[in-house]
Structure 1
Amino acid sequence: MLQKQERQWWQLGVKRVAVGCLLISVPLFYALSTIQINFNTTELPVPLSCSSRTGQSSSRENTNSSQQDNTVCAPKVDIMFMKTHKTASSTFINILLRFGEKHNLKFAFPNSRNDFYYPSSFQRTYVQGYQSGRCFNIMCNHMRFNAPEVAKVLPRDTFYTTILRDPAELFESSFHYFGHVVPLTWWIPGEDKMAKFLRDPKQYFSPGGFSSFYLKNLLFFDFGQDNTLDADDQRVEDSIRVIAERFHLVMLMEHFEESLILLKDALCWEMDDILFFKLNSRMKSTVPKLTPELREKALQWNSIDWKLYKHFNLTFWEKVEAYGRKQMEEDVEELRRRNAELVKICIEGGHSVEAGSIHDAAMQPWQPVGEKSIEGYNLNRNVDKAYEELCRKMLTPEIQYLTDLGVNLWLTKLWGRVRKIINW
């Protein structure tokens, strides 16, 4: 029995050493393989818009209480979505990919991987095919936000949006999803590592630790800010103000459907444009419920994110009030009804399944290191031909959809193969 335990510990140690080496070498390889030399120092202005749809009117009228006139509006197609971590952003990006593909829009995609070299601060040269003065409509992959550089890629009248999540729930999700790639968590004793961490986080946290940003104020970090500041630091308030000035709509994961209705109204889209299936979600059995004690500790530890969330929770409901509570309830009910109809049409069994039960590899979601906790879907075998293309696109995970759109993901795919080799 003792020999078996020693062998298991030895195997675990080998895996961790292998992963540690990979975690150090892969980012270095990323950097060395993407060095770009640009001899053209002339900076050309980004066009106002590069869409042939600009100025074309929608067939619907703005009749919501947020729009006092009945003028015909033109759908907005220039959109920057700041994709935050563990906030249902994969579900939302599927909406954007479908909209952009449907209307033949130009995406600003990353080159060689599925994010803009996160956690590095975004640079315009990270965009696949970037040239000074070239126009793009939509940017939506993970990045560490850098407003001046983003502005050099997208049109001046681009609509900026993002999504937040309750920081306690976000911390729990991030801790379990990214734990295997954060060395700071490897040596926490006991089965419930998160509880141990939250009861004395300073013992296990180092601001300069590898991937430590996943463990503290991750939202604030994603916005390009210093996630280790004290919450009472004036720079925190200043940063929140700057974020509020830059982003036209900050959505909330806990009110995802209301968020989509506000987005539809702001962009003059149709209900068809915001239909969705929940993607990249964990199996319920792997989601522990935070105790009141741990929730309070998680909010204290992520106090900047909590301040950020409370600010935009307030502005969110101000927007809902302006839209009209009754109108919002009716529209959310319609969205739910339309989604439920598509579930029956598209999804085998009408529900998500564990990774091992997914028949088609093209529907297999990307899994966290060391686990297979992310669920996916099986497409109905006898789906109506009229809905087959829509169903498939709505169920396609992000990596596969990006590949279908021609994004160069060779580094992401290489990392996936390495994980398979070491059985992670």
Structure 2
Amino acid sequence: GSTDRTGCCCCWGRPRCCVLTSWRRLWGEPLPPPPSPPDRFCREMGHRRLKVRGADASISLRGFSCMASKTLTSGLSSFQQTGKGLLQVMLKQGKQWKSMCKGLVLGTLLTTCMILLYSYAAPPHQLSLQEIPVPYSCSYKPAHVRNVPRMNGSHFTSELSKICTPKEDIMFMKTHKTASSTILNILFRFGQKHHLKFAFPNGRNDFYYPSYFDRSQVKDYRPGMCFNIVCNHMRFNFEEVHKLLPEDTIYFTILRNPARLFESSFHYFGSVIPFTWKISGEDKLAEFLREPNRYYDPSGFNSHYLKNLLFFDFGYDNNLDINDPKVKKHIKTIDERFHLVMLLEHFDESLILLKDVMCWDLDDILYFKLNVRKDSTVSRMTGDLYEKATNWNKIDSMLYQYLNATFWKKVETYGFERMERDVEELRRRNDNMQSICIDGGRPVDANAIQEASLKPWQPLGERSIMGYNLKKNISRKHKKLCRKMLTPELQYLSELGVNLWITKLWSYIRDLLKW
């Protein structure tokens, strides 16, 4: 640039963009040095109007080409470089966000699993509850709707001693792998029919098993509340159960041959017993029984499923020595506390005895076998393995032998011929209901069950529990009963109003992980 005699600054030596009034005249200050390079000054100036000391000073500055094309090219290049850099940053941040999201999802799943494991394994906080006597019964009804006394047995008799009133206060001690789900279905139907009050767990289908039962585990429990039926899985605690139910409550339970129970329990629960994971070979059960003390850990997680499970369920130490005097004492206590101990191997005879004790009708004990495993998944132990399983579960074997003898004494009292006749009638009625209700007349694999409401719970990692399909054209008279008789335990609990959020959450996680 150059300066004319008036002190104007010109671009490229031309007076076209001169300032008409010098800085010195206007402000009394020295003229600022010319910008370098000169084209920058031109770019920064436009058409402006300034009002200085009351006079208009027109500054006619025109921005010219000032290397416009060069500037545009440079700008586009800079923009492209900036865009590429921004894209790289965004991609890098995207990968980081994706990694963070994966971490959050996995962390959430892990936390949920830990909460579920804790809720299943950790004992709940035991509350100190006020002692309020339970009423004689909470099933009192007006005289005009009260149950009429009926004859006990399948045939009427003139003996007044045979007259009885149906029992509605019931405690069923639900044991594992003993067809107890089938009995539960019978109790659910009876309770619904007579509008009885169940003591149910809260959030799950058991009373925080394997923790000892406590009244605080009952949904919405308050001291002095009355219940008719307790029947969900628990580790038995007589003192707490006794405070929950009326004095004349009928207590009953069911046992199974300990060797067969051990086999079923090993297959069903093996995947959730960590010390079985290290057993090698195709036949893990045979390997375990070959050296049980090598694998068994008394303090291991879920270890109770694989040694004297019945004794454990009744609330006693399943690792006691067989010669410990407490073993015989506890077995005698069980016999005294329970009005009836059923046997899985004689299920129909057991139901006839239950009907007799409860003074129920034959309609009350009709059933379909629920929660049955496929034959292909159950290897029947014989010979040496059977003996080893019996010896490994010595306390359960002693308990079973003692109560098996008691059972047949009750059958003898009932009458062998009468028992045979009533069992035959029960089976005939069951077969008739099967032809009315079940599509195909037999159970099917889990994948072949059409209705979700009829699909049973499956063991972890398997689909070995069979179920049923309901016939399409069932008479109105039988349709409701058929559906109830075929409904699995968890679905029936939901129908009765039990909140199974913990059980359902665990089910969703299993489905998500395809366990």
Q: 2:472 pairs with 377, 381, 391, which one?
A: 381
Listed as ranges, the matches of 1:336-351 within 5 Å are: 336-351=427-442
Helix, strand or coil at the partner of 1:160? strand
Show the counterpart of 1:43.
131
Show the counterpart of 1:125.
216
Which of these two proteins has the greater Rg computed from alpha carbons?
A: 2
1:361 aligns with 2:452: yes
1:143 aligns with 2:256: no
Shift of 1:60: 3.5
Change (3 A) 1:37 1:315: closer
Q: Distance in 1 between matches of 2:351 and 2:450?
A: 31
Q: Distance in 2 between matches of 1:63 and 1:423?
A: 50
Show the counterpart of 2:487.
396
1:74 aligns with 2:162: no
Change (3 A) 1:31 1:222: closer
Show the counterpart of 1:13.
none
Q: 1:264, 1:271 within 8 Å by CA — same for their partners in 2? A: yes
Q: Distance in 2 between matches of 1:64 and 1:245?
A: 29
Shift of 1:34: 6.4
Shift of 1:64: 7.1
Q: 2:407 pairs with 312, 316, 329, which one?
A: 316
Question: TM-score of the superposition, structure 2-length normalised?
Answer: 0.75
Show the counterpart of 2:348.
257
Q: 1:301 pairs with 386, 392, 397, which one?
A: 392
Q: Distance in 2 between matches of 1:265 and 1:159?
A: 12
Show the counterpart of 2:117.
27
Shift of 1:383: 1.3
Change (3 A) 1:88 1:62: closer
Show the counterpart of 2:499.
408
Show the counterpart of 2:371.
280
Q: Distance in 1 between matches of 2:336 and 2:306?
A: 27
Show the counterpart of 1:183.
274
Q: Which amino acid aligns with 1:28?
A: Y
Helix, strand or coil at the partner of 1:238? helix
Q: Distance in 1 between matches of 2:109 and 2:389?
A: 28
* 1:360-416 deviations in Å (ceiling 9; x for gaps): 000000000000000000000111121000000000000000000000110010111
1:158 aligns with 2:246: no
Change (3 A) 1:311 1:100: same
Helix, strand or coil at the partner of 1:250? strand
The structure 1 segments of at least 4 consecutive aligned residues displaced by more than 6 Å after TM superposition are: 18-23, 31-34, 63-67
Q: Distance in 1 between matches of 2:448 and 2:196?
A: 35
Q: 1:23, 1:181 within 8 Å by CA — same for their partners in 2? A: no
Q: Which amino acid aligns with 2:116?
A: V
Q: 1:64, 1:323 within 8 Å by CA — same for their partners in 2? A: no
* 5+ residue gaps, structure 2: 1-107
1:420 aligns with 2:511: yes
Q: Distance in 1 between matches of 2:496 and 2:131?
A: 28
Helix, strand or coil at the partner of 2:460? coil
Shift of 1:66: 12
Q: Distance in 2 between matches of 1:179 and 1:90?
A: 20
Q: Distance in 2 between matches of 1:21 and 1:330?
A: 57
The count of corresponding residues between Structure 1 and Structure 2 is 405
Q: Distance in 2 between matches of 1:19 and 1:244?
A: 46
Show the counterpart of 2:329.
238
Shift of 1:124: 0.6
Q: Distance in 2 between matches of 1:22 and 1:303?
A: 39
Shift of 1:68: 5.8
Q: Which amino acid aligns with 2:130?
A: T
Moved more, 47-56 or 388-397: 47-56
Measured on the aligned residues, the alpha-carbon RMSD in Å equals 2.3
Q: Distance in 2 between matches of 1:304 and 1:66?
A: 42
Q: 1:122, 1:145 within 8 Å by CA — same for their partners in 2? A: yes
1:248 aligns with 2:339: yes
Change (3 A) 1:300 1:67: farther
Question: TM-score of the superposition, structure 1-length normalised?
Answer: 0.91
Q: 2:175 pairs with 84, 88, 96, which one?
A: 84
1:167 aligns with 2:258: yes
* 5+ residue gaps, structure 1: 1-17
Change (3 A) 1:201 1:36: closer
Of structures 1 and 2, the one scoring higher in RCO (CA 8 A, sep 6+) is: 1
